[in-house]
Amino acid sequence: MSDALERIHQQIMWDRLIAVVEEQGQTLMRAAFSTMVRESGDISAGIFDLKGRMMAQAVTGTPGHINTMAASVAHFVTIFPPETMVEGDIYLTNDPWLGSGHLNDFVLVKPCFFDGTLMGLNACTSHLVDIGGRSFGPDGADVHEEGLYIPPIKLVDAGAINETLMALLHANSRVPVQNEGDLYALIACCEVGEERLAAMMHEFGMTSLDSLAQHIIDTSREATLERIRAWPQGTWSSEMMTDGYDFEIKIAATMSIGDDGLDIDFAGSSGRSRYGINCPLTYSQAYTVFAIKCIIAPDIPNNAGALEPFRVTAPAGTIMNAQKPAPVVMRHIVGQLLPEAAFGCLDQARPGSVPGEGTSVLWDLSLRGGFGHNHAANQTPFAIELVHNGGTGGRPHCDGLDATAYPSGVMGSQVEMTESAAPLTVWRRELRPDSGGAGKFRGGHGQIIEISSSEEAPFQLAAALDRITYPARGRAGGGPGRNGVLRLKSGTSMNGKGEQDIPPDDRLWVETPGGGGYGNPAERYPALIEADIRSGLVSADAAKRDYGTDHG
Question: What proportion of the chain, given as a percentage, has pLDDT over 90?
Answer: 89
Question: Do 102 and 96 form a contact (C-beta atoms < 8 A)?
Answer: yes
Question: Do 289 and 67 form a contact (C-beta atoms < 8 A)?
Answer: yes
Per-residue pLDDT of 436-463, as tens digits, reads 999 999 999 999 999 999 999 999 999 9
Mean pLDDT for the stretch of residues 241-252? 97
Q: How confident is the model at residue 375 (pLDDT cuts 50, 70, 90)?
A: low
Domain 3-208 in CATH 3.40.1000: no
Residue 552 reports pLDDT greater than 70: no
| DSSP secondary structure letter of residue 523 | G
Cβ count within 10 A of residue 241: 13
pLDDT of res. 328: 97
Mean pLDDT for the stretch of residues 356-383? 86
pLDDT of res. 363: 96
Mean pLDDT for the stretch of residues 534-539? 95
Annotate 299-337 with three-state secondary structure.
CCCCCHHHHCCEEEECCCCECCCCCCCCCCCCCHHHHCC
pLDDT of res. 374: 62
Residue 318 reports pLDDT greater than 70: yes
For residue 440, which amino acid is it?
K
Pairing of strands 234-242, 160-161: unpaired
Specify the pTM: 0.95
Per-residue pLDDT of 262-316, as tens digits, reads 999 999 999 999 999 999 999 999 999 999 999 999 999 999 999 999 999 999 9
Q: Where are the CATH 3.30.450 domain residues in the chain?
A: 3-208
pLDDT of res. 39: 87
For residue 459, which amino acid is it?
F
pLDDT of res. 377: 65
Residue 145: closest CA among 375, 336, 380, 330: 330
